[in-house]
């Protein structure tokens, strides 16, 4: 389990940081499309001392921030081998720090550049009018790949629900294992649905006017929308194929699915991310070549709508617009009331979930460290309980009872529970033993082994003689 989580999170981190580093930072401080740091200024002002100073400091801060976080993201993953719950807390804190740092290093320099523009009077009021190229708008739907290409893989992915149900009926699995399986199904199907929704949204986004020449506008918008919709379609198919393959493996191997198959699943998910990003990245170069050939460029000085670091234009009916800071990306129009409410709710929910998970993990870790194994018997029903996990059985279910000095030598996978330097508590699965529950303090012997029909329970106590008393109580009955 630790190896699987390490591989998954490491691959995610190796994608997240470089993508953000180069997609947002590749033009950091450069003069592109009449802008520096997302602010329109005259070309003769690019080498102004204040502009050069601000650009240089921003580029340096960006590089240092990304290098530190790239190294930190890799090192944090090794905490998986020490304690996964601690790793989860540290990783969530790191990702919040990273996202906050990205916004700070993009928005703050942009605001400083905008103030610098106003202080120096670099405002061209003749360029404030927003234009529409009606000839491009008329063929807007034909610029992108049809959204219907998502439907076959979406149908196949949804149909694997029958395979999940068949897997549940075929194998004796813990509820936690089925919860994980359904969660993987939900994520596979949910991502396909999300890509379809984004595809439709991209098709409906307003076309951008780059030039006085309609042919240039048509070519640039076609490249952009085609790249995005192709990338979303490719990613949807690979994502769906990754889950379908995993669901088939679950059906044939059951919960003891080999670790390398999880690795294959992770590689396919990584390939889906690449399939999305590569076509989008290629559109940047293609669009640049188109615009460089233009002899009638048209730039709109709409910096007033971006002065806070995000787009806010109440008069623009569009919800999504091309991002000012990353031409591969799209940004919300916060001037629309619905967007403010929706994004506010989204960030609020994510914040509550994040804080809730951190608090829950901290409480869970504390409960494991302070755990006490409690053995009870009432009216012929026996039970073990520790740290919120329990197992009940009656005397007729017992196949054998024994005292052993150590666990059988085999690999155990924790499916739901906790492992710290002090305890192993919860649901586990051994390659030979199969389903088992552990209520164990590490370093204490003997261990009580209770063989049930389809389940094995391992338990011990820190108190001398208590484990032996449990053994006598079960053996004599």
Segment 380-384 shows an average pLDDT of 89
Asked whether residue 435 carries a pLDDT value surpassing 80, the answer given is: yes
Predicted confidence at residue 404, as pLDDT, reads 92
- For the ranges 122-126, 250-254, 264-268, the lowest mean pLDDT is seen at 122-126
Asked whether residue 225 carries a pLDDT value surpassing 70, the answer given is: yes
Asked whether residue 270 carries a pLDDT value surpassing 90, the answer given is: no
| Sheet of strand 398-404: strand arrangement | 398-404, 447-452, 455-459, 434-441, 423-430, 412-419
Residue 333 covered by a domain:
no
Predicted confidence at residue 6, as pLDDT, reads 74
Q: How far is residue 473's CA from residue 294's CA, in Å, rounded to a whole number?
A: 89
Q: Does one domain contain both 379 and 295? A: no
Name the token pair of 270.
């990584």
Model confidence over 99-118: pLDDT tens digits? Answer: 899 989 988 998 998 899 88
Q: Are 114 and 51 in contact (CB under 8 A)?
A: no
* pLDDT confidence tier of residue 135, bands split at 50, 70 and 90: low
* pLDDT confidence tier of residue 162, bands split at 50, 70 and 90: very high
* pLDDT confidence tier of residue 137, bands split at 50, 70 and 90: low
Asked whether residue 154 carries a pLDDT value surpassing 80, the answer given is: yes
Predicted confidence at residue 235, as pLDDT, reads 93
Burial class of residue 114 (count of CB atoms within 10 Å of its CB; 0-12, 13-18, 19+): buried
Residue 287 covered by a domain:
yes
Name the token pair of 102.
């990205």
| Total number of domains in the chain | 2
Among 28-42, 114-128, 188-202, which range has the highest average pLDDT? 188-202
| Top-confidence residue, 361 or 134 | 361
Q: How far is residue 358's CA from residue 72's CA, in Å, rounded to a whole number?
A: 19
Q: How far is residue 119's CA from residue 132's CA, in Å, rounded to a whole number?
A: 30
Mean pLDDT of the residues in the chain? 83
Q: Does one domain contain both 398 and 285? A: no
Q: Position of tokens 């919120």?
A: 388
| Top-confidence residue, 82 or 345 | 345
Predicted confidence at residue 129, as pLDDT, reads 47
* pLDDT confidence tier of residue 264, bands split at 50, 70 and 90: confident
HSE toward the beta carbon, residue 369, CA cutoff 13 A: 10
Q: How far is residue 207's CA from residue 119's CA, in Å, rounded to a whole number?
A: 32
Q: Does one domain contain both 284 and 393? A: no
Asked which of 248, 269, 299 is the last residue of a domain, the reply is 299
Asked whether residue 130 carries a pLDDT value surpassing 70, the answer given is: no
Q: Does one domain contain both 290 and 190? A: yes
Asked which of 278, 299, 320 is the last residue of a domain, the reply is 299
Residue 404 covered by a domain:
yes
| Top-confidence residue, 338 or 235 | 235
Asked whether residue 214 carries a pLDDT value surpassing 70, the answer given is: yes
Residue 339 covered by a domain:
no
Asked whether residue 83 carries a pLDDT value surpassing 90, the answer given is: no
| Angle separating helix axes 214-253 and 161-170, nearest 10 degrees | 20
Q: Are 333 and 321 in contact (CB under 8 A)?
A: yes
Q: How far is residue 418's CA from residue 146's CA, in Å, rounded to a whole number?
A: 47
Asked whether residue 467 carries a pLDDT value surpassing 90, the answer given is: yes
CA neighbor of 426 nearest in space, from 364, 353, 376: 364
Residue 276 covered by a domain:
yes
Q: What sign results for the dihedral spanned by CA atoms 274, 280, 283, 288?
A: negative
Q: What is the DSSP string of 259-296?
A: HHHHHHHHHHHHHHHHHHHHHHHHHHHHHHHHHHT-SS
Asked whether residue 153 carries a pLDDT value surpassing 90, the answer given is: yes
Q: How many CB atoms lie within 10 A of CB 247?
A: 22
Model confidence over 1-31: pLDDT tens digits? Answer: 556 667 777 877 887 888 788 777 666 767 7
Percentage, residues of the chain above pLDDT 70: 91
Q: How many CB atoms lie within 10 A of CB 412?
A: 19
Asked which of 299, 332, 363 is the last residue of a domain, the reply is 299
Q: Are 238 and 325 in contact (CB under 8 A)?
A: no
Asked whether residue 378 carries a pLDDT value surpassing 80, the answer given is: yes
Q: How far is residue 58's CA from residue 108's CA, in Å, rounded to a whole number?
A: 10
- Domain span at residue 461 reads 374-475
Model confidence over 418-433: pLDDT tens digits? Answer: 777 788 898 888 878 8
Residue 274 covered by a domain:
yes
Burial class of residue 59 (count of CB atoms within 10 Å of its CB; 0-12, 13-18, 19+): middle
Segment 406-429 shows an average pLDDT of 84
Q: Does one domain contain both 387 and 289? A: no
Residue 412 covered by a domain:
yes
Predicted confidence at residue 139, as pLDDT, reads 54
Which residues lie closer than 8 Å to 259 by C-beta, 6 or more apart?
A: 3, 4
CA neighbor of 3 nearest in space, from 234, 263, 195: 263
Predicted confidence at residue 1, as pLDDT, reads 53
Q: Does one domain contain both 271 and 378? A: no
Predicted confidence at residue 156, as pLDDT, reads 95
Q: Does one domain contain both 286 and 384? A: no
Q: Does one domain contain both 159 and 278? A: yes
Q: Does one domain contain both 152 and 261? A: yes
| Top-confidence residue, 126 or 311 | 311
Residue 255 covered by a domain:
yes
Q: Does one domain contain both 266 and 387? A: no
């Amino acid at each position: 389990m630790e190896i699987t989580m390490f591989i998954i999170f490491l691959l995610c981190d190796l994608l997240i940081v470089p993508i953000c580093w180069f997609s947002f930072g590749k033009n950091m401080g450069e003069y592109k499309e009449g802008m520096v740091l997302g602010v329109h200024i005259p070309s003769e002002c690019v080498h102004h001392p204040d502009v050069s100073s601000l650009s240089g400091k921003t580029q340096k801060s960006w590089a240092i921030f990304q290098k530190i976080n790239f190294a930190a993201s890799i090192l944090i993953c090794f905490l998986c081998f020490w304690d996964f719950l601690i790793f989860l807390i540290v990783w969530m804190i790191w990702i919040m720090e990273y996202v906050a740092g990205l916004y700070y290093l993009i928005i703050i320099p942009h605001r400083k550049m905008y103030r610098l523009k106003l202080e120096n009077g670099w405002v061209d009021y003749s360029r404030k009018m927003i234009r529409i190229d009606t000839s491009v708008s008329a063929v807007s739907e034909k610029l992108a790949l049809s959204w219907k290409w998502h439907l076959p893989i979406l149908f196949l992915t949804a149909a694997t629900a029958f395979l999940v149900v068949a897997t549940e009926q075929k194998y004796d699995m813990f509820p936690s294992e089925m919860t994980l399986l359904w969660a993987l199904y939900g994520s596979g199907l949910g991502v396909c649905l999300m890509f379809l929704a984004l595809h439709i949204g991209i098709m409906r986004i307003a076309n951008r006017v780059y030039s006085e020449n309609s042919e240039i506008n048509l070519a640039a918008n076609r490249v952009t929308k085609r790249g995005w919709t192709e990338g979303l379609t490719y990613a949807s198919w690979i994502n769906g194929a990754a889950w379908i393959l995993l669901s088939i493996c679950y059906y044939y191997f059951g919960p003891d699915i080999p670790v390398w198959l999880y690795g294959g699943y992770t590689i396919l998910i990584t390939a889906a991310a690449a399939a999305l990003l590569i076509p989008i990245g290629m559109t940047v170069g293609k669009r640049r070549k188109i615009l460089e050939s233009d002899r009638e460029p048209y730039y709109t000085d709409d910096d007033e709508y971006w002065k806070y670091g995000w787009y806010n234009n109440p008069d623009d009916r569009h919800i999504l617009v091309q991002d000012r800071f990353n031409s591969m990306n799209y940004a919300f129009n916060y001037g629309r009331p619905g967007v403010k409410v929706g994004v506010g709710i989204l960030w609020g929910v994510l914040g509550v979930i994040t804080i809730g998970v951190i608090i829950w993990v901290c409480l869970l870790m504390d409960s494991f460290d302070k755990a006490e194994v409690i053995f009870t018997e009432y009216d012929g029903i026996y039970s073990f309980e520790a740290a919120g996990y329990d197992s009940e059985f009656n005397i007729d279910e017992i196949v054998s009872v024994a005292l052993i000095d150590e666990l059988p030598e085999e690999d155990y996978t924790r499916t739901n529970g906790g492992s710290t330097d002090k305890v192993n508590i919860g649901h586990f699965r051994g390659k030979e033993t199969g389903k088992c529950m552990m209520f164990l303090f590490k370093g204490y012997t003997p261990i009580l082994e209770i063989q049930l029909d389809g389940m094995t329970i391992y338990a011990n106590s820190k108190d001398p003689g208590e484990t032996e008393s449990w053994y006598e109580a079960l053996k004599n009955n």
